[in-house]
Amino acid sequence: MAIAATEPTAVRAFGPGTALSCRECGERYELSPIFACGFCFGPLEVAYDFGNVSREEIESGPKNIWRYRSLLPVPDNVAELPNMNPGLTPLVRADRLAAELGLSSLHVKDDSGNPTHSFKDRVVAIAVEAARTFGFTTLSCSSTGNLAGAVGAAAARAGFESCVFIPAGLEEGKVVMAAVYGGKVVAIDGNYDDVNRFCSELIGDPAGESWGFTNVNLRPYYAEGSKTLAYEIAEQLGWRLPDQIVIPIASGSQLTKIDKGFQELIKVGLVEDRPYKVFGAQATGCSPVAKAWENGHDVIQPVKPDTIAKSLAIGNPADGPYVLDIAQRTGGSIEHVGDDEIVDAIKLLARTEGIFAETAGGVTTGVLRKLVREGKLDTEAETVIVNTGDGLKTLNAVDAGVTATIKPSLKAFTEAGLA
Amino acid sequence: MAIAATEPTAVRAFGPGTALSCRECGERYELSPIFACGFCFGPLEVAYDFGNVSREEIESGPKNIWRYRSLLPVPDNVAELPNMNPGLTPLVRADRLAAELGLSSLHVKDDSGNPTHSFKDRVVAIAVEAARTFGFTTLSCSSTGNLAGAVGAAAARAGFESCVFIPAGLEEGKVVMAAVYGGKVVAIDGNYDDVNRFCSELIGDPAGESWGFTNVNLRPYYAEGSKTLAYEIAEQLGWRLPDQIVIPIASGSQLTKIDKGFQELIKVGLVEDRPYKVFGAQATGCSPVAKAWENGHDVIQPVKPDTIAKSLAIGNPADGPYVLDIAQRTGGSIEHVGDDEIVDAIKLLARTEGIFAETAGGVTTGVLRKLVREGKLDTEAETVIVNTGDGLKTLNAVDAGVTATIKPSLKAFTEAGLA
C-alpha cells in the first residue's frame, strides 16, 4: 500500500484498492484471494483510498466500465489488457411503460447489452483481473447460468482455462452459452446452493489449486463489479442519483453494491448527496429476503427455490441481511411476485419498450408494477429499474410464437384474418 | 431542400438527405416511400448534401449511431425520439484469434452488442424515423429472422403496430424474439425469396396501406443504416480505414453500404484516402455471389438456399452485382465455406475471443480462415471482420453442452476425471 501511494507512476495491481476489510468486525487483510474473516467469518470487501476523481476524467475514458477504474480494484492499465470490457449499457427512457403504470419518470438500465448479455460480465471483468494478478490459471464459478457464460467467455478472451459448475436442468440457452467457449461445464445434481457448497469444498482441495473461483475466493473483487451499475446510472442521468431504484435479489450482492456505488459517488463528490430509496425484487418461489422483510425479521430463513426465475434462485442469499438494512435505511422495501406475474411482466416490458428481458427482468418489472399498485412508490419521483439479463436465454419462459402460417398470397393473408 | 438549406434552425426530417437517386440511371426523386426508379427500375438510394462534419462533433455525440446523424437521413433531433438507439458496438482487438490464424492485426466488429443482438437494429433505426415522417402506422418487413426481432422491438419502443413476415421453419430464438414484443408474426410457407415477393405484392394492395416495410418501401432509408458500421470501425481504429475487411453477404446491401460509408468518410475529410480491400463471405449452400465471382460473371444466378446460415439465406441477392464491383474495384474477393466449417468457425471465435456468433458470424470467420489459408489476405495488414449476429439465436447450430453431470462431492468430481 505504502509503495503504491508513494510511487504513483508504477502500475498498481488493484488501483485505489488498499486492503480487504471485514464487513462485520472491520479487521483488515492484505489484498489476496481470501473471502472470509479469520476472526469472525464475516465477508471481506475491498477498502479504498480514492484519489481525486473528476467527471471529466470519467467522461473521456473508455466506453465501458474501465472509465471508472479510479473507483475499482483493477490495474491502472486495465483498459489495455484482454478482457470482455463490459458496461456502459443503455439507460433507456421508458416513457411508454411509465405511461402504462402511471409513473412520471422511469428508466430501465438494460444490462442485456453486455457482451454475454447479463450483468455478470461486469463482476467477472473485475475477477479476471484479480485472477491474473494472483497467478491463477483456471477460472471457475458456481452459477445459476448467466455467470457460467460470462466466465466461459472471459476466460477465452483472457487466455485462462475454465471450469464452471451449474445446477442440472438449466435453460438450454445458458448451458450452450457456457459451453461454446470451449471450457468445461459441470452440471451438479442439486440446486444452486448445493453447487455453491461443492465449490467451497473444492477450493480447499488440491484439485482446486490455481483455480480462481470468481464468486468464491475472488468474491471480494468480483462483487465490486456491480458498483459500476450505480456509477453508470448516475452518469447517464446527468450525474444525479435517482429517487427510487428497483433491483432484483439473488444473493443480494448486486443490490448492496449499487448502494455502495451511490455512497461512493457522494463521498468523492461526483454527485449531490440526496435521499434515494432502494427496493428489492424476488420471485415468490424464492423469496427468503422478501419474507424476512414482511415479517420484520433481520435473519434470513433459507428456502428451497421453486421458480422459473432460475437466475435468482438462491435459497440462502449471503447478502440478505445487508439488503434488509439498505431497504430499511433508505425507506424502500422488498417485494415478490409469482411466476405468472413474471411472465406477464416480461411481455409488458417487451410490448412497451422493446426490451426482451429474461425472467429476472420480469421479476423486477413485476415488482415495479406491484409497488405502484400498492402505493409504495412515489409515482412523481424519478425511478430506475435494473434489467440484469436477456430473454434469449430463457426462451421457454414465454409462450410467444407465430400468429399464423400462410401460403405466400394475398388471398391466404386475407383468409387468415390478417388484412 | 432549398428550405432546409436556408433555414438551418428548422428540424430537417431527413437531415443532410436531399433526394432519392437512382443507382443505375441517376434520376432523382423527392424523399418519399419509393424504392425503384420509375424509368429504369434501378434501386433508389439517398443522396446527400453533407455540411461540415468534424471528429469532435461526432465524438461528443450520443454513444450510439446518432453520433453520425450529420451523415444519415434522419431528423436533426433524432436522439430525442423513441428509438432503439443501436450502435457503437465493440471493435474487439482479437489477438488470440489473430495468433491462431497467423495475422499480425485483427479486430472483430461485434454487432451482437446491439439491442436485439444483430446489426439489423442499425437499419431498422433509420427506417423507423422514415416511417414516422411518412406517417405510417404499422412497421413491417420480410425477414430471415434477425430483422423480424429488430422490427418488433423498434415498433414497440416507438409506438407502432407491427406485422413481420418470416419463412416457416426459422430458429426458435428468432421466432420468439420476433413475437415477444406483441406484434404479429406471420410465417410463410416458402423460403425468404417467397416471403420477399409476397411483401412486394402486399405493398401494392389496400391491405398494405399505411404499412412501412423497412426493407421494401423504406429500403432506401433502411439500407443507409449499415453505413454506421463503416463509421464506427473507422472511428474505433482512431479515424483510420482498415487495410482489409471481411463482410458477410445476404442481400449484399451491408457490404455495399460499408464501402459507401468508407467513401463518405474520405469525402468529408474524416479519414485519409488510402486503399482498402473488401472481401465478401457466403455459405456454400447459398453462394450465388461467390459463384459469380469464381466464374468471372457479372450477373448473379439465383439459387435455392440450403444452409444452416439462415440469416444469409437469400438466393436472389438484390445487391449482388454491386458487391462484385466493389470486390473487383478494391482488390478483394468473394469466398464461401460449407456448414461444417461454419460451425467450426463459430467455435474458433468463441474459444479464442469469447464471442459467441450466430451462423453468419461463423461464415465470416470461416471465410477469414480460408482467405488466410489460400494466401488471399495480407497477413501483415490491418484486418477487420464483421460479426453481425448472436449465437443465442442459432443455438441448435452448435453441439455444445455439459462436460459431465455429477453429484456434489469431490469424490464424484475426481471419478469423473475432472480433477
pLDDT tens track for A161-182:
999 999 998 888 889 988 999 9
3-class DSSP assignment, residue B39:
coil
Are the Cβ atoms of B189 and A407 closer than 8 angstroms? yes
- The per-residue pLDDT for A144 is 86
Task: Tell me the nearest-neighbour CA distance from B314 into chain A, angstroms.
Answer: 16
What length is written for chain B?
Answer: 419
Task: Tell me the nearest-neighbour CA distance from A154 into chain B, angstroms.
Answer: 6
| Residue A141 DSSP one-character state | E
For B207, the closest chain A residue by CA position comes to A419
Are the Cβ atoms of A401 and B185 closer than 8 angstroms? yes
> CB-CB: which of B172, B177, B356 is closest to A180?
B356
Distance of CA A86 to the CA centre of its chain: 12
- Tell me what the pLDDT averaged over chain A comes to: 95
User: What are A334's three cell numbers?
Assistant: 422488498
d(CA B74, CA B48): 11
> CB-CB: which of B154, B198, B395 is closest to A176?
B395
Per CB-CB distance under 8 Å, the chain A contacts of B98 are none
- The per-residue pLDDT for B145 is 87
> CB-CB: which of A195, A346, A413 is closest to B408?
A195
B53: nearest Cα among B295, B271, B254, B284:
B271
Residues in chain B, pLDDT under 70 = 1-9
Across chain A, which distance is largest between two alpha carbons, in Å? 80
DSSP H helices in B182-273: 192-203, 219-224, 227-236, 253-267
For A321, the enclosing helix (H) or strand (E) is helix A320-330
Are the Cβ atoms of B176 and A408 closer than 8 angstroms? no
Domains of chain B: 2-72 (no CATH), 91-117+226-397 (3.40.50.1100), 120-222 (3.40.50.1100)
- The per-residue pLDDT for A9 is 59
Contact A157, A82 (CB under 8 A): yes
d(CA B152, CA B141): 10
Per CB-CB distance under 8 Å, the chain A contacts of B95 are 82
- The per-residue pLDDT for B173 is 84
Per CB-CB distance under 8 Å, the chain A contacts of B188 are 405-408
Backbone dihedral angles phi then psi of residue B248, each to the nearest 5 degrees: -75, 155
- The per-residue pLDDT for B325 is 98
Are the Cβ atoms of A353 and B156 closer than 8 angstroms? yes
Are the Cβ atoms of B354 and A153 closer than 8 angstroms? yes
- The per-residue pLDDT for B9 is 59
- The per-residue pLDDT for B42 is 95
- The per-residue pLDDT for A204 is 86
- The per-residue pLDDT for B5 is 43
Residues in chain A, pLDDT under 70 = 1-9
Contact A71, A348 (CB under 8 A): no
Q: Which of B124, B181, B359 to mutate to test the interface with A (most CBs of A within 10 A)?
A: B181
Backbone dihedral angles phi then psi of residue A100, each to the nearest 5 degrees: -65, -35
Burial of residue A157 (number of CB atoms within 10 Å: 0-12, 13-18, 19+): buried
Per-residue buried b or exposed e for A243-260, using 16+ beta carbons within 10 Å of the residue's own CB: bbbbbbbbbbbbbbbbbb
Task: Tell me the nearest-neighbour CA distance from A19 into chain B, angstroms.
Answer: 31
Q: Which of A413, A415, A418 to mutate to test the interface with B (most CBs of B within 10 A)?
A: A413
B196: nearest Cα among B154, B272, B140:
B140
Per CB-CB distance under 8 Å, the chain A contacts of B351 are 156, 181-182
Across chain B, which distance is largest between two alpha carbons, in Å? 80
Per CB-CB distance under 8 Å, the chain A contacts of B93 are 82
Task: Tell me the nearest-neighbour CA distance from A102 into chain B, angstroms.
Answer: 17
